[in-house]
Chain A
């Protein structure tokens, strides 16, 4: 071994790597969180107050399952575990556990928070978990839309508009011609807006972010205008048949997991199938290899004989159709009517979930569930009526996005050619 190499090795040992520094930061955050849990939820809960977590819904086969726990004891236990995790992080061992520790820490924090909020009363835990899944569907589908586009190097800021426009199409067409027409219309609307994005950015080299913003405006303006001019006049066009849940036999009877995962409309099952399909497709098929190569190095892909433009068009349109599926869910499955600007920024949260999920399908699922969870907590806790103003709980998902994007969760690496127009020479 030469002297230079030895020098490098010594320096590497002395200087902390970014991962090591991050582990320390996460550790400090966790310790602070643990102290806060001890103070706010441990000492803050009255002594001897039980929190009753309901684990079954009224429609379940097994009734009256619940978990009763003393709020103060639970909170203090949670505080000790979180502080322990934090100290473990500060020692900088097992660096691959940094994110997992952070996730466990925040999960336990939420549990203690809920126990504190529900102390002396009861709280439907399974209801909240079910809402988590339902509230994350659009976020996950939005993230998958973004992922489809960005894996081939096109940034899609227009997810929000694609969701909104396809929700409108789903509601109107479903009201007029039935559910199937609504679904097809939503998929087509999403696809057409994807095509518009691809056309503007590939054919005319329009800045990708501007094109996406324009799609959002266009969708918002058109759907609001048509709502005001048509739907208020012809009410029957805003009354689609609500798509009901399909209960999967036996699986739906499993306590907690059943109502959470196996008693939903086909949109939720579709989302999971799509996730598995996309993961397999991206990493184990020729289509996926080509898509990724176009997103990483379009010139090399072109040299290897791949039609870069065609791959980009195809994936962006398919991505738009995923958003169309999400829009149909929004319009047909939840409230089953269209309201002006009913997406309310969820497309942007999907975009952030894609970044948070590191451009991976299952990463998008994880990120989507985090956002769904924070929203479900907000909804259920505002029912409990504790002192926190609902506006602050409503802010929560957006603050989570900022924190996530600002990199508390670590450096993410987008596809190398993301956002770069490709001009064939």
Chain B
């Protein structure tokens, strides 16, 4: 990293009463800082929903077939398709106790992995490797869950700690490579994702993990004592993982903003050269940050291997979490509490998206598109301001990384 590219932590803007004096000013009773923090994400979400609606309409094949004969009816079909899709999305996210359980259940690993990415951002590191760290951490937890016989009160903590160590090693490796050789973490973490994915594919076919008699990469069911207990009985999937996630949010808040090492993390993120000059061991900090980040991803892996009924693990248990985590860390402005709320929002989007896919024939991929749009709008506030004609006092680019650096 060079010292020319100064980075401004996104949420630490000086309070400025005159900016954003538009839409949200009319909402009474909300203090200026909260209003400022909420305005941009809200507008971004609205824009993403609008563009998403447009995409649903354009890709409606049946409606296009009718377009030639009766264009108005076809247009009505398209609008109807949007209505049905968004209605199912909403019902699937909030419409019932089961939906709420699914939303919180889906949010759990997202919050944890989002924290992982956020911690990296705070230290000026872009951890795209949550996926790989989820794999490795999840496998560590899985091994403990399969082969260590302990009472539940010990079994779960041991498995969870194993996951943190596994994920931490995988993340710390990228940090170490950066500290020692200057290898950019964006490249190394992406490559480590592929390595971890192929490793998972292989290891789930070995006798250590594979279910007896199975020919596909699928583990035996983990021991009952290692399963994360569900909160509202086994008919709802929500389990104590959500408490782990919330605890992690407070822990990360404490680390980042109340501890010495957290101060050093943020200092290294703000200016590595200044931190070095101030006597901090930046090489150690990079490794430590990536270890912490990986450990948080590893926790997400643990909730995937220990908490997902029917408690047998297949080779794609990391799903899309690693990438969702990047989007939601940006949306949450790399703040633990921001990550919590964005994690819940994305959990709702994805849980609802699954219902939408089944009921309305719009695949969950739409949620990926909306997530990327949200990130664009968050990262380019000027764009949102231009669209909504909201006045802005100053332009502040969000820059987390500067070049390949040496």
Chain A interface residues (CB < 8 Å from chain B): 155, 157, 200, 204-211, 213-214, 217-218, 220-222, 224-226, 228-230, 233-234, 345, 348, 351-352, 355, 389, 391-392, 394-395, 398-399, 401-402, 405-407, 411, 413-414, 418-421
- In the complex, the chain A residue whose C-beta lies closest to that of B386 is A204
Question: Do A355 and B368 form a contact, CB below 8 Å, given A207-B398, A419-B5?
Answer: no
Task: Check if B403 sits within 8 Å of A230, measured CB to CB.
Answer: no
**Complex-state Cα separation, A218 to B372, whole angstroms:** 6
Q: Report B-chain residues with C-beta under 8 Å of the C-beta of A234.
A: 61
B201 part of interface (Cβ distance < 8 Å):
yes
Chain B residue nearest in CB terms to A155? B403
A411 to B180, CA, bound (A): 12
Q: Is the CB of A352 within 8 A of B398?
A: no
Tell whether, in the assembled complex, residue A214 and residue B379 are in contact, meaning their CB atoms are under 8 Å apart: yes
Closest A-B pairs by Cβ, 5 of them: A419-B403, A221-B368, A205-B397, A217-B372, A391-B202
The answer on a CB contact under 8 Å between A405 and B187 is: yes
Sample of 7 A–B contacts (CB below 8 Å): A210-B398, A214-B372, A217-B372, A221-B367, A225-B369, A405-B188, A420-B403
Residues of chain B within 8 A of A392, CB atoms compared? 198, 202
Q: B365 to A228, Cβ gap below 8 A?
A: yes
B134 to chain A, nearest CB (A): 17
State whether A221 touches B365 (Cβ < 8 A).
yes
Compute how far the CA of A351 lies from the CA of B128 in the bound complex, rounded to whole angstroms: 15
In the assembled complex, the Cα of A208 lies from the Cα of B379 at a distance in Å of 10
Are A395 and B177 in contact (CB-based, < 8 A)?
no
| Distance A395 CA – B198 CA, assembled complex (angstroms) | 6
Asked if B191 and A402 sit within 8 Å, CB to CB, the answer is yes
- On whether A225 and B366 interact (CB within 8 A), knowing A155-B403, A391-B201, A418-B403, the answer reads yes
- Chain B residues whose CB sits within 8 angstroms of the CB of A355 once the complex forms: 187, 404
> Looking across the interface, which residue of chain A has its beta carbon closest to that of B368?
A221
Task: Please give, as numbers and ranges, the residues of chain B lying within 8 Å of A233 by CB-CB distance.
Answer: 61
The interface size bin for chain B is 35 or more
* Residue-wise interface mask of B (361-397) relative to A, using a CB-CB cutoff of 8 A (1 in contact, 0 not): 1110111110111011001101100000000000101
Q: A402-B183, A406-B188 in contact; A222/B202 too (CB < 8 A)?
A: no
B191: chain A residues at CB < 8 Å are 348, 352, 398-399, 401-402, 405
B177 contacts A406, CB within 8 Å? Answer: yes
Q: Which residues of A contact B383 (CB under 8 A)?
A: 204
Please name all residues of chain B whose beta carbon is closer than 8 Å to the beta carbon of A395 when the two chains form the complex.
Answer: 194-195, 198-199
Cβ contact within 8 Å between A214 and B375: yes
Chain B proximity of A342: nearest CB distance (Å): 14
- Decide yes or no whether B169 CB sits under 8 A from chain A: no
Instruction: Determine whether the beta carbon of A220 is less than 8 Å from that of B368.
Output: yes
Given contacts A217-B369, A218-B369, 15 further A-B pairs with CB under 8 A are: A155-B403, A204-B382, A205-B395, A209-B186, A221-B372, A224-B368, A230-B59, A348-B191, A391-B198, A398-B198, A402-B187, A402-B188, A407-B183, A419-B403, A420-B5
How far does the alpha carbon of A159 sit from the alpha carbon of B16 in the complex, in Å? 39
Q: Is the CB of B230 closer than 8 A to any CB of chain A?
A: no
CA distance A305 to B126 in the complex (A): 35
In the assembled complex, which residues on chain A have CB atoms less than 8 Å from the CB atom of B369? 217-218, 221-222, 225
Residues of A close to B59: CB separation below 8 A = 225-226, 229-230
Chain B residues whose C-beta falls within 8 Å of the C-beta of A414 in the assembled complex: 403-404
**Is there an interface contact between B366 and A221, defined as CB atoms closer than 8 Å?**
yes
Evaluate contact between A200 and B376: CB separation under 8 angstroms.
yes
Which one, B101-109, B218-226, B284-292, B322-330, is touching chain A?
Answer: B322-330
Whether A207 and B404, one on each chain, are in contact in the complex, defined by CB atoms closer than 8 angstroms, is no
Contacts of B367 in A (CB 8 A): 221
B402 at the interface (CB under 8 A from A): yes
Residues on A with C-beta less than 8 A from B366 are: 221, 225
* Closest-CB distance, B61 to chain A (whole angstroms): 5
Q: CA A233 – CA B59 in complex, angstroms?
A: 11
Q: How far is the CB of A105 from chain B (nearest CB, A)?
A: 21
Q: Across the interface, do A407 and B182 meet the contact criterion of CB distance under 8 Å?
A: yes
Tell yes or no: B192 within 8 A of A by CB: yes
CB distance from A195 to the nearest CB of B (A): 14
CB-nearest residue of chain A to B324 = A217
Chain A residues with CB under 8 A of B397: 204-207, 421
Taking a contact as CB atoms under 8 Å apart, the answer to whether B184 and A405 are in contact is: yes
- Chain A proximity of B321: nearest CB distance (Å): 14
Given known pairs A348-B190, A391-B202, A406-B188, the reply for A210 and B183 (CB within 8 Å) is: no
Instruction: List, in ascending order, chain B residues with CB within 8 A of A230's CB.
Output: 59, 61
Question: When each residue 187-213 of chain B gets 1 if its CB lies under 8 Å from chain A and 0 otherwise, what string results?
Answer: 110111011001101100000000000
Contact with A along B342-374 (1 / 0, CB 8 A): 000000000000000000011101111101110
Q: Give A24 Cβ to nearest chain B Cβ, in Å.
A: 16
A233 to chain B: closest residue by CB: B61
Asked if B30 is an interface residue, CB under 8 A from chain A, the answer is no
- Asked if B216 is at the interface of the complex by the 8 Å CB criterion, the answer is no
Q: A221-B366, A229-B363, A395-B199 are in contact. Are A210 and B400 (CB under 8 A)?
A: yes
In this complex, which of A225, A351, A414 has the most chain B Cβ atoms within 10 angstroms of its Cβ?
A: A225
Min CB gap A270→B, angstroms: 27
Contact yes or no, A217 B177, CB < 8 A: no
The answer to the question of B55 belonging to the interface, with a C-beta cut-off of 8 Å to chain A, is yes
Closest to B206 in A: A389
Question: Closest CB of chain B to A6's CB: distance in Å?
Answer: 31
Contact B187 A401, beta carbon cutoff 8 Å: yes
Is residue B401 contacting chain A, with contact meaning CB distance below 8 A? yes
- How far, in whole Å, are A249 and B379 apart by their CA atoms in the complex? 54
A209 contacts B401, CB within 8 Å? yes
Q: A200 to chain B: which residues have CB within 8 Å?
A: 376, 379-380
Give the residues in chain B near A228, CB-CB below 8 Å. Answer: 363, 365
Whether A205 pairs with B190 at a CB distance below 8 angstroms is no
Residues of B within 8 A of A225 (CB): 55, 59, 362-363, 365-366, 368-369
Contact A207 B400 (CB under 8 A): yes
Residues on A with C-beta less than 8 A from B194 are 345, 395, 398
